[in-house]
Amino acid sequence: MALPQAKIDATDARLAGMDLPQGGWPAECRADALARVQAMGLPGRRDEYWKYTNPETLISAEVPQAALFDPQEPAMFDGVDRLKIVFVDGVFDADRSDDLSGEHLTIDRLADVANLDLHWAKDAYGTLEAKGQSPVQRPLAALNTAFATDGVLIHVTGAVSKPVNLIYEHSAVNSDAILHHVVKLEAGASLTILENGPAAARFNKVLEAFVADGAALNHIRTQGRDHERRAVTHMFAELGAESTFKTFTLTANGVLTRNECIVWLNGDEGVAHVAGACVGDGDFHHDDTVFITHDAVNCESRQVFKKVLRNGATGVFQGKILVKPDAQKTDGYQISQSLLLDDDSQFLAKPELEIYADDVACSHGSTSGAIDEEALYYLRSRGVPQGEATDLLTLAFLGEAVDEIEDRDLGEMIVERLQGWLTRHRR
């Protein structure tokens, strides 16, 4: 079907200012990805998948500026013993990064291995993104594969004790960063990836994760509190038998965020947990779009999303569980809830289940609500001032999502940040 002219024009306008990075084996992947972008066209407001989120500023040729922001607190995972990889406006900063090596771990920069004939990522880069274009198109992910200027390729062969921390700093008001990471965990391997920071005025990030049989990938990220930043991120994860993938995202502020998470449970008894907590005040639009495909027996998936919105903030959730005909004994759970702290804020949710197997247990729920007045009165009647009582109830609301983080110390760090945000945004 021919694309509408407006879409072709918008896509051409965006591509006109971009150069396809040359050289080495990625060139072919990039050319394929560019062809995908051209075939699909970049997303527009009329696309069903972008019904609730306007992609205009994510695809515009000109980068919307984003003022720099000093959060006046230490960077998120500063207290954690980790391997640091720093990007500033989407450019790797070798001086501030740790040595890219560790036990059971090899890490390469995309740019460094392009000219190697043999590299594992040659058969991996862009493949999950390409696979993820069906049944729903994700043109901004294809754009990323084509034009990513940097990124790391992480290969894990055993249990890695130290988390790998990808740190994204924002230093120019008009930076437009495109990063593409690929992570491959061999059978039985395990890794925790931490990500934090605003990254750029506009950030397009793809992370492709191959999680082999019995492997475990944990992922925790916080997206940076710069009010004017924009981000579109895609996380693609393909899971083998008895493997686990758990991801949690905290988003506080940011004028526009679209986080897509696409998971395939391809081996029996795989487990995927996708969770997020977001807090937004005012000019804040946050979109979680999740697509989980069950294609094996006895797999479990959980989606837990909580959003606290005030002062005209908007939250979006599009979550789908697709259960293929042979994916018997599937256990799928999905919940998305918003706490609206005033009448101006809105939550738009589209939960979907599509089930072709007959022996499955899938549930989903989506709610929007205000603070429980009875609970608030109860707390106040015990002497807890209104602001503090509201925070206590708000944190309790977010708790179900934060509880998805297995590591208690990291979970507490997230709670502290949420507490800080709530205190600062108290009325």
Partner 1 sequence: MLEIKNLHVKLEEEDKQILKGVDLTVEAGKVHAIMGPNGSGKSTLSYVLSGKDGYEVTEGAASLDGEDILDMEPEERAAAGLFLAFQYPVEIPGVGNMTFLRTAVNAQRKARGEEEMSAAEFLKVVRERAKTLKIDADMLKRPVNVGFSGGEKKRNEILQMAMLEPKMCILDETDSGLDVDAMKLVSEGVNALRSEGRAFLVITHYQRLLDHIKPDVVHIMANGRIVKTGGPELALEVEQNGYADILAEAV
Q: Which residues bind partner 1 (CB under 8 A)?
A: 372-375, 377-386, 388-389, 392-393, 395-397, 399-400
The strand order across the sheet containing 83-88 reads 91-92, 83-88, 164-169, 190-196, 216-222, 244-252, 271-281, 300-310, 331-340, 361-369
Question: With contact defined as beta carbons under 8 Å apart, do 136 and 322 qualify?
Answer: no
**Cα-trace Rg, the chain:** 21
Phi and psi based region of residue 375 (left: phi greater than 0; alpha: psi -120 to 50; beta: remaining) = alpha
- Which of 302, 234, 237 minimizes the C-alpha distance to 267? 237
Task: Return d(Cα 419, Cα 396) in angstroms, integer.
Answer: 11
Nearer to partner 1, 356 or 377 (CB): 377
Nearer to partner 1, 279 or 379 (CB): 379
Distance (Å, whole) CA 149 – CA 199? 14
Least Cα distance to 51 among 335, 352, 306 occurs for 352
Of the pair 204, 390, the CB lying nearest partner 1 is at 390
**Looking at beta carbons only, is 297 or 339 nearer to partner 1?**
339
**97 vs 337, beta carbon nearer partner 1:** 337
| Cα 209 to Cα 141, 184, 388, 420, distances in angstroms | 14, 6, 40, 32
CB of 303: closest distance to partner 1 in angstroms? 19
Shortest spacing between CB 400 and partner 1, in angstroms = 7
Q: How far is the CB of 386 from partner 1 (least distance, A)?
A: 7
Whether the CA torsion 170, 171, 173, 179 is positive or negative: it is negative
Task: Specify whether the CB–CB gap between 257 and 279 falls below 8 A.
Answer: no
Residue with smaller CB distance to partner 1, 282 or 420: 420
Own/partner pairs for 416-419, CB < 8 Å, 24+ apart? 417/76, 417/222, 417/250, 417/252, 418/250, 418/252, 418/277, 418/279, 419/391, 419/395
List phi, psi (to 5°) of 258.
-125, 115
CB of 312 to partner 1, least distance (A): 25
User: Are the C-beta atoms of residues 418 and 392 closer than 8 Å to each other?
Assistant: no
CB of 290 to partner 1, least distance (A): 23
Least distance from partner 1 to the Cβ atom of residue 378, Å:
4
Nearest-approach distance from CB 401 to partner 1, in angstroms: 11
Closer to partner 1 by CB, 290 or 379: give it.
379
- Min dist CB 392 to partner 1, Å, is 6
For partner 1, the closer of residues 8 and 393 by Cβ is: 393
Q: Token digits for 349?
A: 């949710």
